[in-house]
Amino acid sequence: MVTVHPTAVIESDAALDDGVQIGPYAVVGAGVRIGARASVGSHAVLEGQVELGADCRIGCHVVIGAPPQDLKYRGEPTRVVIGERTQVREFATVHRASTGGHGVTAVGPDCFLMAYAHVAHDCRLEEGVIMANQATLGGHVEVGRHAIVSGLSAVHQFVRIGEYAFVGGCSGINQDIPPFLKVQGAPAKPLGLNAVGLRRHGFSSEAIHALKEAYRILFLSALNTSQALERLKRDLPSSPEVERLVDFIQRSQRGISK
């Protein structure tokens, strides 16, 4: 059964699956689709083409699907898609895409966007991403699975943050952050491997050791990035984690933080 507070405003062509709960003064606009058992808190606004997955939790005063903050945008139809079980806490914002990307701002399943976090147009967050209070992503940012962006950090548009990376608080990110790393600062600099996070997610001691060796060659030697990558391929045994690290760096368009 769908539960809607009498003060909420639900447009007639919004689609609410079974078990959805809508709180006081919430606004659910035309074209919004809300999955089973999801809840929308008081004064939250969902507008435009928004798809909210099952079991999501949307806090009070959240805004999802507002137009992108892009001067080129002229009202073209774009979307926001949020995966199952994602939590978006109070006053956080997720903007729909502009026309300069893929047409979709995508937040994966099991993400956690804390209070006042901002996800700009055309961002793509994979599963399990955590954004702490007031963390901000510029447009077209990509964040890999289970990465963490700590509070008061700002990420420049078109930056990529790799899987299982950890961005420390109050950081400024203007270049790509390779997977598995821990960084902090403005501009952010590598502080080592995110070993604690990797252990928590079940990475083997062998995988962590291989990544530590890769980190040493990439960031603690006198080699430039191209030389370090060549040495990694030559000297380190094959490892899926190291291969993902190398592939990420090779595909970087903005360069990596060093």
15 and 113 share a domain?
Answer: yes
Q: Chain-centre distance of CA 164, in angstroms?
A: 12
Give the residue among 85, 84, 93 at the shortest CA–CA distance from 62.
Answer: 93
Q: Among all chains, which residue has been given the structure tokens 């903050």? A: 69
53 is a catalytic site residue: no
Query: What is the dihedral sign for C-alpha 57, 103, 253, 157?
Result: negative
Give the domain CATH number at 234.
1.20.1180.10
Enclosing domain of residue 211:
204-250
Q: What is the pLDDT of residue 101?
A: 86
What's the pLDDT tens digit per position in 75-84? 999 999 999 9
**pLDDT for the residue numbered 69:** 96
Look at residue 218 in the predicted model and tell me its pLDDT: 96
144 catalytic? Reply is: no
- 209 & 114 share domain: no
Domain finish residue from 198, 214, 237: 198
Q: Using 70 as the pLDDT threshold, list the residues of the chain that sit under it.
A: none
Quote the pLDDT of residue 238.
86
Active site residue 17: no
- Does 55 lie in the same domain as 139? yes
Q: Choosing from 55, 122, 140, 146, which is the catalytic residue?
A: 122
CA 219 to chain centre: 25
pLDDT of residue 1: 94
CB-based burial, 62-80: b 16+ in 10 Å, e otherwise: bbbbbbbebeebeeeebbb
pLDDT of residue 67: 97
The pLDDT score that the predictor gives to residue 79 is 97
pLDDT for res 102: 87
Question: Which of these is catalytic: 31, 35, 128, 139?
Answer: 139
Q: What per-residue confidence (pLDDT) applies to 257? A: 86
Structural domain tally of the chain?
2
Instruction: Classify residue 257: in a domain, yes or no.
Output: no
